[in-house]
Every structure is written in C-alpha cells, then in structure tokens.
Amino acid sequence: MNDSDEPTPVERRALDALPRSRDPRPDLEDRVVHALQRRGLLPIPLAIRPGRRHLVPWLAAAASLALFAGGFAAGQFFGTRSGAAAALSGVEASHGSAAQVAAHAERIGALYVAALAALNQVTDSTDPATRAKARQAAISALGGAASEVAQLVPDDPLAAAVVRGLTDRNREQRPAPSTRSVVWF
C-alpha cells in the first residue's frame, strides 16, 4: 500500500479476485452440534438435576472464595520472602561504590532498629520464651554487625568493646564443663 489508505490498482485487482460468500443461516451451528452429538463425536453436556439447581451458585461462590484465599495466602508467603530478599539485594546491586554500600547499610540498620522497636510493641512479647528468642536474635545481629565494623575499622574502640563484651557474655552463658566423669561398662 502507498501512503494513503487506498489500495493500489494491483492490490484492488487481487481483492476483487477473492471469492464472495454468503453468511450461513442462523440455525446452522445448532444443527451441526446436534448431528455431532448424535454420532458420539461431541460429548453431551451434563444436565443439572432440577432439585440441585440451587447448589450451583453456592458451589461457584465457594470455589471463588477458595481461589481468593489461596491467592491471598500465596501472595503473603511470597511477598514476605521477596521483601526480605529485596532489602538484602541492594548489597549485591550496589557494588559500584563505597558510598552506595554505606547508604544501603544505613537503610538496613534503620530497618533493624525499627524491627526491634516493633518487637517491643507486640502483645505476645511479654511471654518470657518469646522475649528470650527476640533478645538472642537482636544480640546475634548486633554481634555480627560489631564484628564487621571491627574488621572494617580495626582501631575503633567501641566496636572492639562490643565484640569483647558479647564474647565474654557468650563465654559466661555456656554451661560449665562437668568435673564428674562417669565410665559406663
């Protein structure tokens, strides 16, 4: 075709050479379907029994509710996993400069502090076992961060003191080795 939407003479002749046809009668599709069903080439649709017609809307509603709940649960599961991965993915993506890595570390540190503050506000945090787990997680993360800072800046007295304090704390919390030896025969 040329710049206008009109066909060229060659295209016009090709279009005119195409065969012309009429629209089929409206009942043709129904007749073909019934003929194929009679010969067993198309399955006959199941008829809903008159006494069970009221169940169809309820079954459809139940199926849609199950699909919705499944989608919601999958979204929650994958959303929480991808949220943590997205928070950590900035480290790999920002190998470009020290400033970018430092900014990312600052964001992650702020998230850590916010998570600890939120943990304090949770209603079941009054349970001693839950608080012990939370305290252990917080101290473990603090120890890891302090170790990295001590490697980054070996002369930093604060990082060295934190690492030393956590090491001493871990040593004190370990159970004392038993002085009693038992020989079993």
Integer Cα distance of 141 and 148 in angstroms: 11
56 CB-near residues (< 8 Å, 6+ apart):
48
Integer Cα distance of 144 and 150 in angstroms: 10
10 has a pLDDT exceeding 90: yes
CA-nearest of 73, 72, 64, 104 to 87 is 104
For 140-162, write each residue's pLDDT tens digit.
Answer: 888 888 888 888 888 888 888 88
Residues in the chain: 185
60 CB-near residues (< 8 Å, 6+ apart):
none
Q: What tokens appear for 79 in the block?
A: 């959303």
Angle between helices 128-152 and 98-121 (to 10 degrees): 160
150 CB-near residues (< 8 Å, 6+ apart):
156, 159, 160, 163
177 has a pLDDT exceeding 80: no
Q: pTM of this prediction?
A: 0.39
Specify the pLDDT at position 4. 73
Q: What tokens appear for 127 in the block?
A: 């349970």
Specify the pLDDT at position 9. 92
Specify the pLDDT at position 170. 76
For 57-109, write each residue's pLDDT tens digit.
Answer: 777 888 888 888 888 888 877 766 555 555 555 555 445 677 777 777 788 88
